[in-house]
C-alpha cells in the first residue's frame, strides 16, 4: 500500500512544473459483474481515484474495497469480510501506462492500457483495450476486462461456488479533469 | 403411536419452515439505515483527517464500515449520477472528506452554500487522498 501511495504522489507532485500535465478524478466508476446460473451479482464503486500524467501517459488508480456497493447487504458483508478481506487489504490499485498516449485523437481513440493490478494483496499484469476521449476540459477512459478470481487467491466457499462466477467482468469509466 | 409420529413430523416441518424464514431474512437483510443509526464516533473534519494521516491502518480499523458523524465546513457541492456529493474541507488543508449523500437528501443538500457549517452522518469506507463516506445524511 505504501508503494502505491508513493507512485501516486510521485505522479502528482514531482516534476509538476506545468500543472496542466496532470488530470485527476476522485469520482471514477469501477464495477464488477459475476454471472452464474444461480444469480447475477453486480457491485459499483463511484469513488475511484485516478491520475493521468499526460506527458508520459502514466496512470495510477486506487479504490477502496468497502466502496463497492452491492444490492444485497449480506453479499457486501461476505465480499468484504470473507472474500477480499478488506480489513487486511482495504484498497485495490492499478499502476501502468496508456500506450501511444500522445498519438491519440478523436479519430484514433483506442489504445492499450498495460500495468499491474493489485487486489487482495496479489499482483497481476494486466493489458486491455481502452477508449480514450481527450478534450480541453477532461480525459475520459472507458473499457472492460475479465479477471479470474483464482488469480487473486480469493477463496470462495464450496457452498456458494455455484453462485459466483470463476471469471469476473470488470468495467471502468473514468472522467478526469485538469488537476488544479 | 401414530399420534406421536404425526407430532414429530409437524415439529420437523415447523423447524424447517423456521430455518427457511431465518435464512431468507438473512439473505434479504437490509443495508444499514444510517438515518436511524447512532453514530459510533462524532468528530470534526480535521480530527478525522489527522487521524487517518497519522496512522491509516489503525484509523481504518476504528472507523471504516462504521456509521460516523463529522462536523465541518462545506467546500463544494456537486452531483454524481443524480446524487449529491458534499466535500467538507478546512481552509488551507489539502485533504477533505468526500460525502456521497443518500438520494433522499438531494433537496436539502442543494440548499447548502459554500462555507456553511454542517454535520453529516454516514458510513466511512476509508482513505485515498481524502476520507470517503457513503450513504450520508445531513444531521440537524
pLDDT tens for residues A65-99?
999 999 999 999 999 999 999 999 999 999 999 99
Separation in Å, CA A118 to CA A56, A76, A105, A126: 22, 20, 30, 10
- Percentage of chain A surpassing pLDDT 70? 89
Q: Sort out which chain B residues have CB atoms less than 8 A from A41's CB and list them.
A: none
CA A100 to chain centre: 20
Q: Find all residues with CB under 8 Å of A157, minimum gap 6, and list them.
A: A82
Nearest to B62 by CA among B41, B46, B47, B80: B41
Task: Tell me what pLDDT residue A12 has.
Answer: 61
CA–CA min distance A103, chain B (Å): 30
Name which of A8, A66, A74 is nearest B125 (Cβ-Cβ).
Answer: A66
CA angle (A61, A66, A69) in 5-degree steps: 100
pLDDT higher than threshold 70 for residue A109: yes
Q: Which of B69, B41, B56 is nearest to B135 (CA)?
A: B69
Measured between beta carbons, the chain A residues lying within 8 angstroms of B89 are none
As a whole number of angstroms, the distance between CA B24 and CA B26 comes to: 5
Query: Of B75, B71, B79, B65, whose CA–CA distance to B107 is shortest?
Result: B79
List the Cα angle A132/A134/A139 in 5-degree steps: 80
Distance from the Cα of B75 to chain A's closest Cα (Å) equals 15
- Rounded to whole angstroms, the Cα distance separating A145 from A154 reads 18
Strand boundaries in A21-166, DSSP class E: 22-35, 40-53, 58-64, 69-70, 91-98, 110-119, 122-135, 138-148
Cβ-nearest to B80 among A46, A63, A74: A46
Mean pLDDT across chain A = 90
How confident is the model at residue A8, as a pLDDT? 64
One CATH from 3.40.630.30, 3.30.450.20, 3.40.50.300, 2.40.128.110 for A22-178: 2.40.128.110
Residues counted in chain B: 140
Weakest mean pLDDT among A11-25, A135-149, B117-131 = A11-25
* CB-based contact B125 A80, cutoff 8 Å: no
Which of A112, A110, A109 minimizes the C-alpha distance to A125?
A112
pLDDT of residue A7: 62
User: Is residue A101 classed exposed, middle or buried when 0-12, 13-18 and 19+ CB atoms within 10 A define those classes?
Assistant: buried
**Positions of chain B with pLDDT under 70:** 1
Residue-averaged pLDDT of chain B: 93
Number of residue pairs across A and B with CB atoms under 8 Å?
57
Amino acid at each position: 500500500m505504501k508503494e502505491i501511495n508513493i507512485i501516486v504522489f510521485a505522479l502528482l507532485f514531482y516534476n509538476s512544473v506545468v500543472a496542466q500535465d496532470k488530470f485527476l478524478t476522485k469520482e471514477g466508476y469501477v464495477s464488477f459483474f459475476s454471472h452464474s446460473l444461480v444469480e447475477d451479482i453486480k457491485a459499483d464503486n463511484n469513488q475511484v481515484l485516478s491520475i493521468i500524467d499526460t506527458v508520459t501517459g502514466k496512470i495510477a488508480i486506487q479504490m477502496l474495497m468497502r466502496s463497492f456497493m452491492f444490492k444485497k447487504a449480506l453479499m457486501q458483508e461476505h465480499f468484504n469480510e470473507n472474500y477480499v478481506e478488506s480489513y487486511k487489504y482495504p484498497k485495490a490499485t492499478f499502476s501502468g501506462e496508456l500506450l501511444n498516449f500522445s498519438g491519440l485523437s478523436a479519430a484514433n481513440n483506442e489504445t492499450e492500457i498495460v500495468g499491474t493490478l493489485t487486489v487482495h494483496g496479489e499482483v497481476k499484469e494486466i493489458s486491455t483495450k481502452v477508449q480514450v476521449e481527450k478534450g480541453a476540459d477532461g480525459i475520459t477512459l472507458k473499457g472492460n476486462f475479465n479477471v479470474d478470481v483464482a488469480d487473486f487467491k480469493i477463496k470462495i466457499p464450496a457452498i456458494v461456488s455455484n453462485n459466483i462466477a470463476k471469471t469476473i467482468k470488470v468495467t471502468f469509466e473514468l472522467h478526469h479533469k485538469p488537476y488544479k | 403411536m401414530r399420534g406421536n409420529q404425526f407430532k414429530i413430523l409437524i415439529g420437523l416441518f415447523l423447524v424447517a419452515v423456521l430455518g427457511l424464514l431465518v435464512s431468507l431474512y438473512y439473505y434479504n437483510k437490509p443495508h444499514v439505515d444510517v438515518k436511524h443509526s447512532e453514530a459510533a464516533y462524532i468528530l470534526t473534519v480535521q480530527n478525522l483527517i489527522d487521524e487517518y494521516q497519522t496512522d491509516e491502518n489503525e484509523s481504518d480499523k476504528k472507523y471504516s464500515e462504521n456509521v460516523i458523524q463529522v462536523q465541518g465546513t462545506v467546500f463544494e457541492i456537486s452531483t454524481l449520477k443524480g446524487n449529491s456529493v458534499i466535500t467538507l474541507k478546512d481552509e488551507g488543508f489539502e485533504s477533505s472528506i468526500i460525502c456521497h449523500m443518500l438520494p433522499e437528501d438531494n433537496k436539502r443538500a442543494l440548499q447548502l452554500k459554500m462555507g456553511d457549517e454542517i454535520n453529516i452522518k454516514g458510513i466511512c469506507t476509508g482513505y485515498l487522498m481524502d476520507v470517503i463516506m457513503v450513504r450520508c445524511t445531513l444531521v440537524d
